[in-house]
Amino acid sequence: MRTIDDYNFADKKALIRVDFNVPLDEDFNVTDTSRIDAAKPTILKVLEDGGSAVLMSHLGRPKGQSNPDLSLSHICDKVSEIIGVQVKFVADCVGEKVEQAYSDLQNGEILLLENLRFYDEETNGDEAFAEKLSHFGDIYVNDAFGTAHRAHASTTVVAKFFPENKCFGYLLAKEIKAIDKVMQTGEKPVTAILGGAKVSSKITIIENILDKVDNLVIGGGMTYTFVKAKGGKVGDSICEDDKMELALDILKQAEEKGVAVHLPVDVLAADDFNNNAKTQVVDVTEIPDGWQGLDAGPKTLENFKQVILNSKTILWNGPVGVFEMESFAKGTIAIGNAVDEATAKGAFSLVGGGDSVAAVKQFGFEDKVSYVSTGGGAMLESLEGKTLPGIAAIMA
């Protein structure tokens, strides 16, 4: 695996695909700088070697149209502040303006190109567009895990124009190693904690990881599809009736492979889907009509905690309750505390997938787990066993 450490960038210009698809408020201030922070070590390596960096990214979904609200010019000052170098900005990503700015770029300087997705050619994986981008660097560095599952011009196609000079940045290399540690080289016992609302959105992950894990902890809304499939009463809880056969098949596969499946035994049920609803703790198989399970119950959390504390490698994907509402956040916080404790005892813990990452950040667990993935869709496709085009292009 070729990484940025395999190259010396002295007097070289690095074309770096970063993921600066960051949230902005109504005044165009960056409200979460995680993705910029994550790219900093890669950019600094290039500058400290004595080279310069050309950064390319997308922002939002402009659908091939120039949109001033989605211009990367809005984040230029914040990137400059975080990197510690004044970033130059050019209001295009191909063409004469960029060529001039590129030729003027000196060692130690950074040039940020305009939003790639102002061009349809980016998302279409257009080869001619990729070739134009390739003119703006001596070495291509992909450090954008969040888009590695897309065969876009800047993430995949451009790499073919750098047959000998392409590598992973620090962030992307760390993501690959973290997933590999869970899926291939992790110390046993390996435990996957899967939450979220639907079995259907996790089925390919479950099927792929059953050969890799010792314990499968199931929480969140998909619990009730499993419980109902086994004959339990789930009241008004979210349930995919058309996936009940699938749920039973997963349990059967797990048993055949010797994987211990841990389902909730009790839940915090509510009489309405809101923070101020009446609540009661009930057996997961006896949820009354008119009530719905919105968080894991105390016995369940104790069971889950013991499994987590006895694990050496932990994957956490998805919350175990409706953590956005304070009344139903206790379960997800308890899982976070258990993963934190196991990590402190030497376990490797990887958190990935939009909602679990949001929960980890919200409740302050970000620095208490081994690794928090920056890529939602890319992380999930990796766990499904798919080869990501952005990674394959560097390995080719």
Q: Which of 160, 177, 233, 377 is catalytic?
A: 377
Q: For residue 2, say whether it is annotated as part of any ligand binding site.
A: no
* Catalytic annotation present for 198: yes
Which of 181, 211, 206, 209 lies closest to 348, judged by CA?
Answer: 181
Q: Which of 12, 13, 17, 35 is catalytic?
A: 35
The packing angle between helices 170-180 and 34-49, to 10°, is 120
Residues 349, 352, 356, 358, CA torsion sign:
positive
How far is Cα 344 from Cα 101, in angstroms, rounded to an integer?
48
For residue 185, with 0-12 CB atoms within 10 Å meaning exposed, 13-18 middle and 19 or more buried, which class applies?
exposed
Tokens 């074309």 sit on residue: 15
Which amino acid belongs to residue 1? M
Q: For residue 353, say whether it is annotated as part of any ligand binding site.
A: yes
* Catalytic annotation present for 312: no
Q: For residue 19, say whether it is annotated as part of any ligand binding site.
A: yes
* Catalytic annotation present for 377: yes
Q: For residue 131, say whether it is annotated as part of any ligand binding site.
A: no
Q: For residue 59, say whether it is annotated as part of any ligand binding site.
A: yes
Q: For residue 365, say whether it is annotated as part of any ligand binding site.
A: no
CA dihedral 152, 24, 145, 380 (to 10 degrees): -100
Q: For residue 34, say whether it is annotated as part of any ligand binding site.
A: no
Largest CA distance in the chain: 70
The pair of structure tokens assigned to 378 is 């890319």
Q: For residue 138, say whether it is annotated as part of any ligand binding site.
A: no
Q: Which of 198, 230, 233, 305 is catalytic?
A: 198
How far is Cα 322 from Cα 388, in angstroms, rounded to an integer?
31
- Strand (E) or helix (H) holding 225: helix 223-229
Write out 127-196 in H/E/C secondary structure: HHHHHHHHCCCCEEEECCHHHCCCCCCCCCHHHHHCCCCEEECHHHHHHHHHHHHHHHHCCCCEEEEECC
Q: For residue 150, say whether it is annotated as part of any ligand binding site.
A: yes
* Catalytic annotation present for 17: no
Residues 45, 47, 50, 55, CA torsion sign:
positive
Say if residues 199 and 360 touch (Cβ distance below 8 Å): no
Query: How remote is the C-alpha of 351 from its chain's centroid?
Result: 8
Q: For residue 146, say whether it is annotated as part of any ligand binding site.
A: no
Direct distance between the N- and C-terminal alpha carbons of the chain, in angstroms, rounded to an integer: 10
Which of 292, 289, 336, 333 lies closest to 314, judged by CA?
Answer: 336
How far is Cα 228 from Cα 286, in angstroms, rounded to an integer?
10
SS3 352: coil
Which of 214, 218, 383, 219 lies closest to 311, judged by CA?
Answer: 214
Which of 317, 200, 307 lies closest to 263, judged by CA?
Answer: 307
Q: For residue 35, say whether it is annotated as part of any ligand binding site.
A: yes
Q: For residue 61, say whether it is annotated as part of any ligand binding site.
A: yes
How far is Cα 310 from Cα 24, in angstroms, rounded to an integer?
41
Q: Which of 97, 160, 177, 354 is catalytic?
A: 354
Q: For residue 17, say whether it is annotated as part of any ligand binding site.
A: no
Binding site members for ATP: 202, 293, 324, 353-356
Binding site members for (2R)-3-phosphoglycerate: 35, 117, 150
Query: Which residue numbers are catalytic?
Result: 35, 198, 354, 377
Binding site members for substrate: 19-21, 35, 58-61, 117, 150
Binding site members: 19-21, 35, 58-61, 117, 150, 202, 293, 324, 353-356
